[in-house]
Chain A
Amino acid sequence: MGTTVSIELTPDRPDHELRALIADVCGWLHEVDARFSTYKPDSEVCRFRDGALTLADLSADMRHVLDACADLWRDTDGYFDAYATGPLDPSGYVKGWSVEVASARLLAAGSTSHYINAGGDIRMRGHHPDGGPWRVGIRHPWEPDKVSWVLALTDGAVATSGTYERGDHVHNPRTGKPAQGLRSVTVVGPDLSIADAYATAALAMGEAGITWLAKRAADGYDSAVITDDGRAFSSAGLPAAV
């Protein structure tokens, strides 16, 4: 996936056990990469795209991913689109989902306090080693060494999409043109895959995404937005640190 993943576990067991947990997470993420990468010709995604696999051949995980992408396409008025670039590319969902699963695996193994940060999209549980909530900064879109908000979270996900890293890489699927209007969109909520998809969809919408995001707050997804001209917006429930 070409992404760096940072994992921090609150040390609640011997060091070698912590390392085993991290190894398990890394193994899972590499497995996801092998199965869902659009760059590996033998991945399940590529073989399904090529017609080598039919719907009936697909794994349960792959079916889940396809269903989730369809749901998100509907929920985002078509702005989250796994077919935006032509052939199926579910990466926008798979990344957040794989981290959700990884965090759930850690929890199942007894790690109640940890975070996983995959390329700026974070799933966390519990508390940091000093006992407080995890403090998550949202990168400032023009000043890489600054943050524009600091959030305090004990259980939840934070996903940020922005145009400041790769320029016009997010396209408005309705017009086919690069998304314009929003510089950075952060969504905070219970599920990282949904938060990530919402952030990407809102970025594609442009300024209309601000209104659209406001309605997501009722479902537990808060947001913080910075426009191209430097205006900042946030929802009332954004868990800003004091």
Chain B
Amino acid sequence: MRRSTAAAVGTLTGAALIVGVRLSVEPPAAPVAAPPAVDLAGGTPTPKPKPTGSAAGSSAGNKSGKATASKSAAPKSGLKDGVYKGDGARNPYGTVQVSIRIEGGEITAAEATYPTTADSGTINPPAIAALKQETLGAKSAKDLNAVSGATYTSKSYAESLQAALDAAKA
């Protein structure tokens, strides 16, 4: 019984580290936590853990975070079905809390809440939600059909590349 709790906490720690937070507890080997963290980084919603655990199947009335073992033989992994939350880990950017769901003795979902304020927003969100920096180009205007730019007046149009293109076509 104690062992299974320790295993669950271990995976929480592992997942928390993947989102970039240092916890005081040394993480045991927890390879199963990696895939959900990748999903989070990719912006794909992972299944939302329910506040109360419910083992796959029928057992109703589980208490929060402490799912009762189903009557079938205990899974080999020693993990009890249910939903478990790690202690929130504080870091300079806010608090990170990781939840996992165990079904049939296996972790089926993991999710982390992390700060999304302006400062931390640049650190934690999926890398996909950012513009990439590049070298400012200065290409010649050949082979263009049209030019987009901030022109506000007829005068600025007259001086624009678009005007030159139009003149070339007229």
Contact = CB atoms under 8 A, between A and B. Distances in A.
Interface of A: 2-4, 6, 8, 115, 117, 119-122, 124, 128, 134-140, 143-151, 158-166, 169, 184, 186, 208, 210-211, 213-215, 217-218, 223, 225-226, 230-236
B122 interface: yes
Given A145-B141, A146-B141, A165 B135 contact: no
Nearest to A185: B150
B117 interface: no
20 contacts: A2-B152, A6-B162, A119-B152, A120-B149, A120-B150, A136-B146, A137-B144, A137-B146, A147-B144, A147-B147, A147-B161, A148-B139, A160-B150, A184-B149, A218-B129, A225-B131, A231-B133, A233-B132, A234-B132, A234-B134
B150 A165 contact: yes
B151 interface: yes
Contacts, number: 155
A115 B146 contact: yes
A47 B108 CA distance: 62
A143 B149 CA distance: 12
A159 B146 CA distance: 12
Contact of A121 (B118, B132, B135, B148): B148
Interface string B104-142: 000000000000001001100000111111111111110
Nearest to A217: B129
A200 to B, nearest CB: 10
B154 interface: yes
A179 to B, nearest CB: 12
Given A136-B145, A225-B131, A234-B134, A165 B139 contact: no
Interface size classification for chain B:
35 or more
A14 to B, nearest CB: 18
B131 A139 contact: no
Nearest to A142: B138
Interface of B: 118, 121-122, 128-141, 143-154, 156-163, 165-166, 169
Contacts of B138: 140, 143, 146-148
A61 to B, nearest CB: 24
Nearest to B134: A232
Contacts of B121: 211
Given A2-B154, A211-B121, A136 B136 contact: no
Contact of A211 (B122, B145, B156): B122
A217 to B, nearest CB: 7
Contact of A137 (B118, B148, B150, B157): B148
B162 A117 contact: yes
Nearest to A169: B152
For the complex of A and B, 7 pairs with smallest distance between CB atoms: A139-B149, A162-B150, A4-B157, A233-B131, A232-B136, A120-B149, A146-B138
A133 to B, nearest CB: 9
Given A6-B162, A119-B152, A120-B150, A135 B145 contact: yes
B166 to A, nearest CB: 5
A137 B141 contact: yes
A111 B154 CA distance: 27
Contacts of A145: 141, 161
A226 B148 CA distance: 14
A230 B150 contact: no
A150 B144 contact: yes
A213 B146 contact: no
A208 B141 CA distance: 30
Contacts of A121: 148
Given A145-B141, A211-B121, A139 B136 contact: no
